[in-house]
Structure 1
Amino acid sequence: MATRSASYMDRAINTIEWLAAIFVGIVALNIFVAVVLRKFFDTSIPDAYDFGRMLLGILIFWGIAATSYRGGHITVDLVWTAAGPRMKRAIDVFATLVLLFVVAVQTIMLFDKVRGTYVDNVQTYDLNIPTWPFYAVAWAGDVCAVLLIAIRTYRLIFHPEQLEEVHAEQKADE
């Protein structure tokens, strides 16, 4: 049964990471098309600035989700490097719990932003498209970040062997 739940968790993790990668591609495509249209055809995509701004927000929150589980983002590990194995695990658990709390609060606050843009009927400048769906997709990325951090916390505490962590000294050895 543990293997089946681990398999479901791993599939959820991979799906979230793929979605984050797709949003990177969408942002790059939006920028590329806007530049080509402006440079060669002297025209622009209506609301390109609004779309770019909101897509970048989506990318940031889905990027947080993608990096939260793997622990591969930039860290300062001075104390962690000097600690023994038990202390390293305690530091990892504590840091992950703090991250879980901060991102959960951020998710609650972002939901308030989604609700506010929906209630206020905020729209894009040119096409008058409601902006709340973009904020909702960003919020979904934040929810995924909370989910992945919770999975990471669970695995750190109960199944640390299921984590694929790469720290600075491991990267230097490769």
Structure 2
Amino acid sequence: MTRHSMDRFIDTIEWIAAAFVGLVALDIFVSVLLRNLFNYAIPDSFDIGRMLLGILIFWGIAATSYRGAHITVDLVWGNVSPRYQRWIDVFATLVLLFVVTVQTWTLFDKVRGTYRDNVTTFDMHMPTWPFFAVAWIGDVSAVLLIAIRTYRLVFHPEDMHDPKLKATE
């Protein structure tokens, strides 16, 4: 995979995560509007809304993991030399890669379980496993992006978009 195609893949993941933010916001807006103005509830709106929120969380993990935009504590990192900052970044990213990989494995078990058990929504009896599968794909994307981040941190730190990392080269 070339640098350009990696960047396109990263941007695509971020756009998909952004689309899910919009979809969740639209779902909430329409549900509240219909409930308050017309006293009408969309069937399964609660179930669909919470599953979309779950999807958003996993795709959000993918989007924030590559950029390093998640919550960090830089107490030690900010007080060491650039060489050690890079070591800390690589170590932290490897730990994140391990944790998200295990999470992805267990989420796949959840997808398989909801499919096998034929879990459905309350009102319309829609199967829930496709929602879990889309969330799982987001988690797989997170693993791939964290792996790309790790590769770039080790071999090509100049390709990182994080200004903190460029300062430590």
Scaled to the shorter chain, the TM-score interval is over 0.9
Structure 2 spans left out of the alignment, 5+ residues: none
User: Match for 2:144 among 119, 144, 147?
Assistant: 147
Structure 1 residues 105-114 or 73-82, which shifts more?
73-82
Is 1:32 equivalent to 2:22 in the alignment? no
- The answer on 1:118 being equivalent to 2:118 is no
Whether the 8 Å contact between 1:72 and 1:166 is mirrored in structure 2 is no
Residue 71 of structure 1 corresponds to which residue in structure 2?
A: 68
TM-score (norm 1): 0.93
- Residue identity matched to 1:165: D
Q: Are the equivalent residues in 2 in contact too, given 1:156–1:163 (CA < 8 A)?
A: yes
1:130 and 2:127 are equivalent in the alignment: yes
Q: Distance in 2 between matches of 1:123 and 1:148?
A: 32
Q: Which residue of 2 aligns with 1:62?
A: 59
> Which residue of structure 2 lines up, in the alignment, with residue 53 of structure 1?
50
TM-fit CA distance, 1:164: 1.3
Which one of 69, 87, 91 corresponds to residue 84 of structure 2? 87
CA contact (8 A) 1:69 1:149 kept: yes
What is the CA-CA distance between 1:166 and the residue it aligns to?
A: 3.9
CA distance in 2, matches of 1:84, 1:51: 48
Contact 1:80 1:88 in 2 (8 A): yes
Aligned mates of 1:32, 1:150 — CA distance in 2: 36
The alignment's C-alpha RMSD in Å is 1.1
User: Deviation at 1:165?
Assistant: 1.0
In the TM superposition, structure 1's runs of 4+ consecutive aligned residues that sit over 3 Å from their partners are none
Distance in 2 of aligned mates of 1:75 and 1:150: 19
Following superposition, the deviation at residue 74 of structure 1 comes to 1.8
Q: 2-side partners of 1:106 and 1:72: how far apart?
A: 19
User: TM-score with structure 2 length normalisation?
Assistant: 0.96
Give 5+ residue unaligned stretches, structure 1: none
Which residue of 2 is the match for residue 9 of structure 1? 6
Does 2:38 match 1:41? yes
Percentage identity across paired residues of the two chains: 70
